[in-house]
Amino acid sequence: MTEQTAQQKAEELTGEQVAEYLRAHPDFFVEQDELLRSLTLPHDSGRAISLVERQVHLFREQRDTLRRELVELVSIARHNDRLFEKSKRLLMNVIEARNLNDMASAIDDSIRGDFGLDAASVILFTDSELSLASQGALHVVPPAQAKERLGSLLDGERAVCGQFRESERNFLFPDREEPIASVALVPLRHDELLGVFAVGSCEPGYFDQSMGSLFLTYISDTLSRLLPPIVQRHTSAAPVAGIIAESR
């Protein structure tokens, strides 16, 4: 084969064909030391480097990328461990609560203390008369009023995060001197809508739609199962409390 014919054959090959051949024969360069030494590639610095140097450079870049990803994964795992421990402490305190006000107080203390947020709110929806009044983080409102004030925020089953309208924030966190700027809200459902669990921050961008809500959902799922029997006890106690009050 003449040099001209060989050059014509080489020109007929595409880059993809060469790449496909090398992928099918990864040991091609084992016996091609001279060819390896003659191959050069442009470098970021502007100078030409050998194929081996280029491979070493790529391996180092890949190693550095994997190392950064590993550090990030470890950091996320540690953050999730801390969140899990805080969530567990919160739920243990909630389980030990004697009544709804104690439960709401435990939630408020944990959210503002352990989690470092600015506010927590547990709002129950009921038309029944309860043997307690709204106090601290606990608020009791009629379902119709909640629907009117929160609207479509109650339609889903998952956490909703964002800045919300001012009227919605004021409804979720009433009587605050420093207004809440962003909110994460989770409906409390067990067969039916029981209420909402909300946490708030004075920082406008703290909660947004891209934020993960795994631990908020974990807490709200537990609250949804604990609340019905406790609310029932308060509902049953309401007439008795009224009779005692009238007899005094």
Domain ranges of the chain: 15-96, 99-247
> Per DSSP, what are the bridge partners of residue 186?
197
Query: pTM score, two decimals?
Result: 0.64
Q: What is the pLDDT of residue 112?
A: 87
Calpha distance 35→54 (Å, rounded): 15
**Residue 242 — very low, low, confident or very high, per pLDDT cuts 50/70/90?**
very low
Q: What is the pLDDT of residue 225?
A: 86
Q: Report residue 122 as tokens.
A: 């547990």
pLDDT of 216 above 70:
yes
Q: What is the pLDDT of residue 132?
A: 63
3-state DSSP assignment of residue 113: helix
Beta strands in the chain (DSSP E): 40-42, 48-50, 119-125, 138-141, 160-162, 182-190, 192-201
Inter-residue contact 110 to 92 (CB < 8 Å)? no
Inter-residue contact 206 to 182 (CB < 8 Å)? yes
- With residues binned 3-state (H G I as helix, E B as strand, rest as coil), the percentages for the chain, rounded to 5, are 55, 15, 25
Residue 211 or 95, more confident = 95
Q: Report residue 184 as tokens.
A: 């994460």
Q: Helices (H), strands (E): how many in the chain?
A: 8, 7
**Lowest-confidence pick of 42-46, 61-65, 204-208:** 42-46
Calpha distance 174→246 (Å, rounded): 31
The mean pLDDT value for 239-244 works out to 35
- Sort strands 182-190 and 40-42 into parallel, antiparallel or unpaired: unpaired
Q: Report residue 94 as tokens.
A: 């909630």
DSSP state letters, 170-216: HHHS-S-SSPP-EEEEEEEEESEEEEEEEEEESSTTSS-TTS--HHH
Residue 10 or 165, more confident = 165
Q: Which of 11-15, 33-37, 65-69, 97-101 has the highest mean pLDDT?
A: 65-69
**Residue 247 — very low, low, confident or very high, per pLDDT cuts 50/70/90?**
very low
CB atoms within 10 A of CB 77: 10
Taking the alpha carbons of 138, 212, 66, 30 in that order, is the dihedral positive or negative? positive
CATH 3.20.80.10 fits domain 99-247: no
Q: Report residue 216 as tokens.
A: 């908020």
The mean pLDDT value for 53-80 works out to 86
Residue 21 or 197, more confident = 197
pLDDT, tens only, 4-54: 555 555 567 787 887 888 788 877 766 776 776 666 666 665 565 566 676
Q: Report residue 99 as tokens.
A: 């009544």
Q: What is the pLDDT of residue 9?
A: 59
Q: What is the 8-class DSSP label of residue 25?
A: -
Q: What is the pLDDT of residue 213?
A: 73
Find, among 104, 101, 115, the residue nearest to 215 by Cα. 115
Residues 6+ away with beta carbon under 8 Å from 112: 118, 119, 120
pLDDT > 70: what percent of the chain? 76
